[in-house]
Chains A and B, each alone.
Chain A
Amino acid sequence: MAAQNKITHGQLSCLVFSYLSGFSTLFLSEAALLKQDVWMSYLIGMTLAIGMLWLLCYVQWKHPLLTMVEISDKLFGHWVSRLVLMIYLIYMLEMQAAACRALSTFYTTVVIPNMPSNQMILLIILCTTYATYLGLTTIVRAVQITLPFFLVGILIICFFLLRDVETNPFLPQFQHSFSEVMYGSLLSLYFPFGKLVVFGFLLARVKNMKKIFSSSIFGLILAALYLLVSAYLTLGTIGIHLAGTATFPFFSSIQMVKFGEYLERIEITIIGIWTIFTLFEIVVLQYVFTILLRHVFRIKNMKPFILPIGLLFFISAQKSFLRLSDLTFYNLNIAPFSTMLPIAIIPIMLSIMTLLRKEKT
């Protein structure tokens, strides 16, 4: 890879944070399910994601001159590797469809109910397609420039919400059974922590190979902290019962913020945060999709394929999750199991194959 296409480990952290944050605080499904015990599921989900990331970094460290797709070819052979990469392609289509639908459902429920969802999804995809066309270095620079503003926005929201929390919403502890907590951990591994697996294909683009693990962990921990604080503030502000039934609980809690008599309606900040972070999430998915597609079909010139990939993303999002209930059902029942293969099983297989090959040599 040319040196000018490499990103720094700091840029990697920023990208990981904004990618994982995405729309993670939009539905807060685990908080609605586990309420005061939600911190356990976030902790377990985050730990499992750290384990998965370590496996990917280990594989990358053992093959410092190869990209992950080339490593997959080397370890699995050409045809099995293509199958494995196809699984990731389908995973990315699944994740981006959910992301597009979540954002467009939010906009059409709360902000602009008369706008057709298709139009909304098309706008999102046109934006992300153009970003993919511009390349990874442009994407990370855009993330670097916008991130400080959104971090300040998040801090302001948290400060205002903290004033309204009067009793500890995380009491009483340990009210849910082991199986409920495990299910919640599975949910939080699927979304948002397990999405980090996609970064396995970008690790080779980082300049300082030794720092890929620490910088990714930094982004992951920050994203986990943001999610935990949002869950705490939501449960503390709007109450446990309402948090379990509200469609967008964090949004409802931000609507409660009132400073004096005139400073209210600060929910516009979280709308901006969700929009931009979700766009970054879809951009990363689309970019990695182009890398994988190029390798699967051995395409030489990728530029003409970027627009059709965008259109494929549009169709996938347009035809999936037509109702909010479909998305909720899928997130709670299907996706935690369907994403186990790309998030857990394949990284484990990659690391086992790397270890076996290392022992042979």
Chain B
Amino acid sequence: MLNTIICLLSICYGIQQFSSFRKQNEKRDAIVILLFCGMIAIYCNPFYSASLPTVESFYTFVYKPISNNLIRK
């Protein structure tokens, strides 16, 4: 429920800020905020967000072999 609310809020906020930046002619800021809020909305969506990668899962995938070798030694 909380995630769904955040998902909707971030979409609305992203669109609102995007249009506000477009009015000020800040194209880069507009695109960045839209992408940012879009990423938040994707991560908060109630359907398949559990399988999306996080920093923890990414680093565990990358560093686990290194850690296993070094700690074993």
Contact = CB atoms under 8 A, between A and B. Distances in A.
Contacts of B66: 337
Interface in B32-57: 32-33, 36-37, 39-40, 43-44, 49, 52, 54-56
Interface residues of B, number: 36
A112 interface: no
A330 B55 CA distance: 11
Interface string B56-73: 100110111011101101
Contacts of B44: 315
B6 interface: yes
Contact of B33 (A90, A93, A304, A326): A304
A146 interface: no
A94 interface: yes
Contact of A301 (B3, B26, B49, B62): B26
Interface residues of A, number: 35
A241 interface: no
Given A118-B2, A179-B73, A305 B56 contact: no
B51 to A, nearest CB: 10
Interface string A282-317: 000000000000000111110011011001101110
Interface of B: 2-3, 6, 10, 13-14, 17, 20-21, 26, 28-29, 32-33, 36-37, 39-40, 43-44, 49, 52, 54-56, 59-60, 62-64, 66-68, 70-71, 73
30 contacts: A94-B55, A94-B59, A97-B55, A97-B56, A119-B2, A179-B73, A297-B28, A299-B28, A300-B28, A301-B21, A304-B20, A304-B29, A304-B33, A305-B32, A305-B36, A308-B14, A308-B36, A311-B10, A311-B40, A312-B39, A314-B6, A316-B54, A319-B56, A326-B56, A330-B59, A334-B59, A334-B67, A335-B59, A336-B67, A338-B62
